[in-house]
Structures are given as C-alpha cells and as structure tokens.
Structure 1
Amino acid sequence: MKTATFSAAAPFIIRQDYAAYTAEQHAVWAELVGRVLPELERHAAQEYLDGLQLIDLKKDCLPNLESISARLFPRTGWNSTPVSGFLPAPAFFEMLSMRCFPTTTWLRSRESLEYTPEPDIFHDVFGHVPMHAHLVYADFLQHYGRVCAATSDATILEKLGRLFWYTVEFGVIRQRNEIKVYGSGLISSHGECLNVISGHCAIRNFSLNEVLDTPVKVNELHKLLFAVNSFDQIYEAMHEAERRLLHGRL
C-alpha cells in the first residue's frame, strides 16, 4: 500500500495509538455497535453490509485503522488515514481526491452514546468506511473530492455540500422494494436511522436538481431524504453536477 503525499492535509495526519485505548473505550465501542447493528442487519443497504464483512470490523473492540486499510486497499484503493480532528475543507477534499479517508481516532464517552457534535471513530469507521469497499461508490467519492478541490467558489461548494449530505451522510437507496440506509449519519445514529425506517421521514426519488436546491439542517431529525435506485446514480449525478456547476452547463 503506497503512502500518499499531502500538502494541505499534511499538518493533520497522525498515527493511531491503538495500545492507548482503555477497556472502557472498547466497552463503549461494543455498546455503540450493539445498539445499531440489529436494525442495520435488516435495514442497511446490502453494499454496506458486504463492506462491513470485508473490512472485518470487530463488534467488541475499537478498529485498528492499519488492519482495516490493509483489507480495503486491495479492493478499491482506499484507506482510512488517521487525522487529529476536524479538517478544513481544502485538506478534506485533498484527502478524498487521493482515496484517503480522514479518520478521527477519538471515541465519544458513554454519556454521549446517542450524539456527538463532532465526528468520532464510530461515525467515521462504522458509519463511512464499509461503503468504501464498493467500487462505484469509491469512485464517486474520489471524484467528489477532486471536483471540490478544484474550486474555491463558496456557492458551488455549498451546492456540492448538499449532494454530499444527501448521499454520503444521509443517503438511502431502494432495494427489493424497500428503503435501505447507506449514509453514515443514518448508519451511526440510532435516532436518525429509526426516524427513517419508522416512516417519520418523507422519501422522494433522487433528483439532482432538488438535492442541490435543498438546504441542509443539522439541528433536527430529517423530514425529507432522497432515495437512489443504484450507486451508479450518484456516480452519474456527481459528474452531472460537475458539468453544471464548474463548467457552466446549467
């Protein structure tokens, strides 16, 4: 596995000190997984479940990022790269464009099982990484990083941020005539996932126009999400968004 050379992201790259995790932290991880896995086995996209198996994520102990990357890289060329915390946009986009997923190494406390305002290793690894084992999704995510890294236009980045939000973070897909979740915000949040599978969130067919025009709300459970029929659809939507926003083909 090749080591990426970063510029904007370089100051944020760290090593995961796996031996420093405590028994309590491993127990919190096990509790977090135990809370959501039964519903995900019934309601997550098959591609997510396949990825979960491929990276061999443990239920009872925190993930070792080197081990996960060693299993993931031969499949799609992606790896989970440990970072010190929340990244500024240029560093984040640079890492995605190089098929390196910026992964925090800290874990929420037992008092914050349901929600943490800043992504932790549970959100980043359990929520995001299994989908990186799906080649079409992996290519989509890299292209998203490349496109965002190529512009500093705030309006364009806000629009593309909505596409990211309604796919990578809160994406749903129709499979076998059912709504299945694949977005990391749904996968890693018991409350958000239940909000969708219980029918309290309206689901519309994915429309690039509507997604780009729908503002993001971070302080309440979602009332509307957009279902794709395949991951080819978000791959094609990203290329269409690039043509429209960066090349003026509105």
Structure 2
Amino acid sequence: MSTEVENCAKRRLAFQKTYSQEMGGWRKRSLIDDAKFETLANQEFEKRERKISNTEIAENDDVFAQNGGHPASPKPESVVITSYVIKLKEGLGSVARILKLFENTKTTLLHIESRQTRTKGRTFELFLECQGSKDTLASITNALHQHPVVQDGSVTVVGEKTPNKKELWFPRHISDLDKCTHLLTKFEPDLDYEHPGFADKEYRQRRKMIADIAFDYREGEPIPRIDYVQTEIDTWSHVYRQLKNLHPTHACSDYQQNFEMLERECGYSENNIPQLQDVSTFLKRKTGFQLRPVAGLLSPRDFLASLAFRVFQCTQYVRHGAKPDYSPEPDCVHELLGHVPMMADPTFAQFSQELGIVSLGAADADIEKIATLYWFTVEFGLCKENGEIRAYGAGTLSAYGELKHALSDKPKVLPFDPDVTSLQEYTDDDFQPVFFVIESFEEMMDKVRQFSSRIKRPYEVHYDPFTQCIQLLNSKGMLHQLARNLHSELDNLQRAIDRIHNVTIN
C-alpha cells in the first residue's frame, strides 16, 4: 500500500474517534452496530475531506490571482493508469532509452517487467504500467510508436483504467496487525456510566493496566501473563460452573471435545483462568490460529482483517464481579470459554479465516454484511446434530441465560441463508430474538463462499501461510506461481488417492 493510502487510513480512523464523540458515542453491543457506525463515519469523513480539498483549491486560486494570474477555472486533467506491452528489437540496453521518454513528465511508473519474446527479430518484450494525465500518456504513446528501438505495430496498449481514489488500507503482513488496534466503540468503565465497574476505582485502574499491556504488545512477542486476583478468579469460576453444566445438553459435540482438550492441555479449570500464551500455543498446533492481546472492542475492519491471518484478537481483562452473568463488552471469560474451543476445530477455523480474507478491501456496505454474517454464525450460530439443535456460537456458549434461551421455544429459528442472514436486523434490548441454524459446517462454508464470490473488489487476494503475507492476485506472474503451487498439491493428493486405492484392491 502506498504511503498516501496509509496516511488517509490514519486520518479516517482519527476522524471516526472524534465523530463518535460528536455523536454522543456509539456504544452498542454488536459487531453489526460497529460496522454500521463505521459506514456512517466514513461517509461523513468523505464529505469533510472533499470540503477541505475544495477549500485548499480556492485558497490556491486566491494566491495565484494575487500574484497576477487567474483562478484555476479549467477542470484538472483526468488521471489514468495505462499499461503497455512493447516489443524491442535490441537488447536490454534499449530499455533505458525507452524510460527516458518518461523523464521530466508528471508520470509515475508503477510497474516495469521484461521477458524474452518468441517473436522473430525482437529479443525482449517490455511491460510498463504508468499513471499520469490522459493527455500526457497519449503523447507518450505516440512517442513510443515512433521510437527508433521500437518498430511500427510493436506497441500495444493492454489496459487503461482510472485509479481508485478510495483505495482502502489493509494489513499485508501479519506484523501490520500492530496497526490494527483501533478501538472505535469502547465500553470502558470510566466512560460508560452503565458499566458495572463505573463506580469502582480499583477495577478501573486494573482495567487500564491490562489495556496498556495490549497496546504495548507487538507481533512476535510472547503474550504477557496476567496474575489474576481472587475476585477475578471467583467471577471466572461462577461462569465456568454454570456453563459446564449445560455443555452435555446444549453445546455441539465439536465444542465439547475441544473443551475437554483445553482442560487437559491448557489449564482450563473452575479455579484457574488460562493464560493467553498457553492457549495460543495450543491453537497454533491444532489449526494454525493464534491469539493476540487486545485492549477492547476493535473496529470491524481491524477485527475481521486479523482473522485473515488466523489471528484472533483476545482481551485479558475479566468482567466486573458485581454482574458475573453479564458483560457489556467482550472479556476473556467470553473469549476463552466461547470462542477458543471452536477455533480449535479445523473446519471452523478455515471458515473464520475466509470471512476475514473476503473483508480485505471490501466496501463499507459489504463490511456490514460480513459483520452480520459473523454475528449470526461465529457469535450466535446454531447447528443440527443427530436430529437436535445445538449451539456453536461464542455469544451463546459463554452466557448461561443466552444459552438456555437459544435452545428454548422462545426465539425464532431460521435456516441459514447468507443472502437473508447478512441483512438480518439486530436488536440488543434483550436475548437474541432470531437465530440461524446450519445443517453442517461444510454446508455453511459452501454457502458463504458462493455469497463471497459476489462481493465486488478490484482484486482477489491470497494468504501465503509460509510468509504470513496477503498477496494481491493482480498479475500473471502471481497467478502462474499460485497455479504451480496448487498443481504440486494436487499431484500429492492424487498419489495419496492412488496409494489408498491400491491398498484397498490388494
């Protein structure tokens, strides 16, 4: 991403925080409401950016007029990106002569690539991608056709497009998650008078201490350990006992199996709050997911983007003991008891990552839909199991009252359909009034993949687990490399199938 795009992203996020205060806060309970707020804030940000830009143009016109000139009445030249394929009859030394055409022009060379060509009489083929005014690039095109190292008919314009002025920054490497720590909707106890810890000065100070640990954390560091005090352990114990009694009758089998493993391997117990580093190591071994400490509720884009790298942002603080069965925000009780057991399931982990990947660079309206899908699956999803309905969503599995309500006859239960689910309205006045039930995780993944394929983006992206990078699939070279890797994997798979088939026959 360019520095200009990243700087714009920083200005946008700073504005969102200010706008939240101007609007009296936007402290809702769901990722859906956060996404809707972000859409409104982005729209207002665009309006104010345009207003600032227009003001700057007017001021420049005034200065120009004061110096004896005239205001800039003509419209600015339209900027385009043009791509060329140029066949050269000389060696690579002629490339320098071609590039001289771009000197002293307000043109940016975005990409240069050379390769040998099979065309008789020409030794190299040059690919150039340039950005500049339409008139300037038209002049360069004419000059290329007349250049002595290029013969007639050897210059091909393979594409022309308008640069995307609303290009959104998103993390490209897992270390970029250090920049994805924007808390747009906080329920901090010293700001929200409805928070159970609002009047508890000691609790507020401890929350700030734990939040500072998360803010100071950087990718690759061991997650700092928290020495939990007895009041926090008592709150954890209360929730732990209540929920575990409901597991056999309310939780899906995958959740129960993984929960038992967490008890054996990560210190999950009624009287012990597990440390994030231990749980993260466990998850990394099981599904490649890892935990990262976070200070509170993240912006939807930041949170979803983290999932693309198989990173789950997890709080370390514990809800206030005055209301152990209720928390106005995610806390480690919700995340360790609700989210982590399902993150240890390979299929569910893959589903979570794919939701994160499809969010990268998506428009605000699509972020709202993705956040809504996340809410009614990962947070409050139900599934069918042996003819019965069970819970797999973290919001239900970490709240005693919500879990009993979800499997009662009170809420409306609908079949999962991404086109319907992504538009479902959400209310936070009471327990969830609507739930969506899936037949299986595999079917849910297939449906969401079909839904995701209709989300329009200027590019497709791919996550490389070896480099922990997001790759833009916007060049032939990148596509060929990915195809070769997939071909190798398919060959390996075919050999395994053949071996099993031969063993079965013999």
TM exceeding 0.5 = yes
Deviations 1:56-99 (A, max 9, x none): 32222111111111222111001121112221233212211111
Distance 2:181 2:427 in 1: 31
Distance 1:135 1:36 in 2: 24
Instruction: Provide the residue aligned with 1:167 in structure 2.
Output: 377
Distance 1:108 1:186 in 2: 17
Instruction: Confirm or deny that 1:24 pairs with 2:194.
Output: no
Distance 1:146 1:38 in 2: 36
Instruction: Confirm or deny that 1:212 pairs with 2:382.
Output: no
Moved more, 86-95 or 42-51: 86-95
Distance 1:88 1:80 in 2: 17
Distance 2:271 2:243 in 1: 13
Deviations 1:166-212 (A, max 9, x none): 10010000001111001011011111111122221121221222212
Instruction: Confirm or deny that 1:157 pairs with 2:335.
Output: no
Distance 1:94 1:155 in 2: 16
Using a 3 Å threshold, how does the CA distance of structure 1 residues 10 and 225 change in structure 2: closer, same or farther? closer
- Of 93, 101, 107, the residue aligned with 2:304 is 93
Q: Secondary structure at the match of 1:221?
A: coil
Distance 2:418 2:273 in 1: 37
Distance 1:188 1:245 in 2: 32
For residue 47 of structure 1, report the CA deviation from its aligned partner.
0.8
For residue 221 of structure 1, report the CA deviation from its aligned partner.
1.4
- Of 176, 180, 187, the residue aligned with 1:9 is 180
For residue 149 of structure 1, report the CA deviation from its aligned partner.
2.2
Deviations 1:102-125 (A, max 9, x none): 000010122121211110001111
- Of 279, 282, 289, the residue aligned with 1:68 is 279
What is the percentage of aligned positions where both structures have the same residue? 25
Distance 1:59 1:79 in 2: 23
Distance 1:17 1:83 in 2: 13
Using a 3 Å threshold, how does the CA distance of structure 1 residues 148 and 175 change in structure 2: closer, same or farther? same
For residue 17 of structure 1, report the CA deviation from its aligned partner.
3.3
Instruction: Describe how 1:158-237 pairs up with structure 2 within 5 A.
Output: 158-237=368-447
Q: Are the aligned partners of 2:258 and 2:345 in contact in 1 as well (CA < 8 Å)? A: yes
Instruction: Provide the residue aligned with 2:315 in structure 1.
Output: 104
Instruction: Confirm or deny that 1:148 pairs with 2:346.
Output: no
Deviations 1:122-166 (A, max 9, x none): 111111010011111101101111111221x22111111111111
Q: Secondary structure at the match of 2:446?
A: helix
Instruction: Provide the residue aligned with 1:34 in structure 2.
Output: 241
Distance 1:9 1:213 in 2: 26
For residue 10 of structure 1, report the CA deviation from its aligned partner.
6.0
Q: Are the aligned partners of 2:361 and 2:457 in contact in 1 as well (CA < 8 Å)? A: no
Distance 1:123 1:133 in 2: 16
Q: Secondary structure at the match of 2:377?
A: helix
Distance 2:380 2:446 in 1: 18
Q: Are the aligned partners of 2:315 and 2:330 in contact in 1 as well (CA < 8 Å)? A: yes
Distance 2:406 2:304 in 1: 29
Tell me which amino acid in the other structure corresponds to 1:5: S
For residue 218 of structure 1, report the CA deviation from its aligned partner.
2.2
Distance 2:305 2:386 in 1: 36
Q: Secondary structure at the match of 1:110?
A: coil
Moved more, 207-216 or 171-180: 207-216
Number of matched residues?
Answer: 244
- Of 236, 240, 247, the residue aligned with 2:450 is 240
Distance 2:291 2:255 in 1: 16
Q: Secondary structure at the match of 1:140?
A: helix
Structure number with bigger Rg: 2
Tell me which amino acid in the other structure corresponds to 1:229: E
> Which one has the bigger helix percentage?
1
Q: Are the aligned partners of 2:255 and 2:342 in contact in 1 as well (CA < 8 Å)? A: yes
Q: Are the aligned partners of 2:359 and 2:370 in contact in 1 as well (CA < 8 Å)? A: yes
Moved more, 184-193 or 9-18: 9-18
Distance 2:330 2:290 in 1: 18
Using a 3 Å threshold, how does the CA distance of structure 1 residues 13 and 234 change in structure 2: closer, same or farther? farther
**Aligned residues: CA RMSD:** 2.0
Q: Are the aligned partners of 1:36 and 1:190 in contact in 2 as well (CA < 8 Å)? A: yes
TM-score (ref. length: structure 2)? 0.46
Q: Are the aligned partners of 1:82 and 1:102 in contact in 2 as well (CA < 8 Å)? A: yes
TM-score (ref. length: structure 1)? 0.91
**Structure 1: 5+ residue runs without aligned partners?**
none
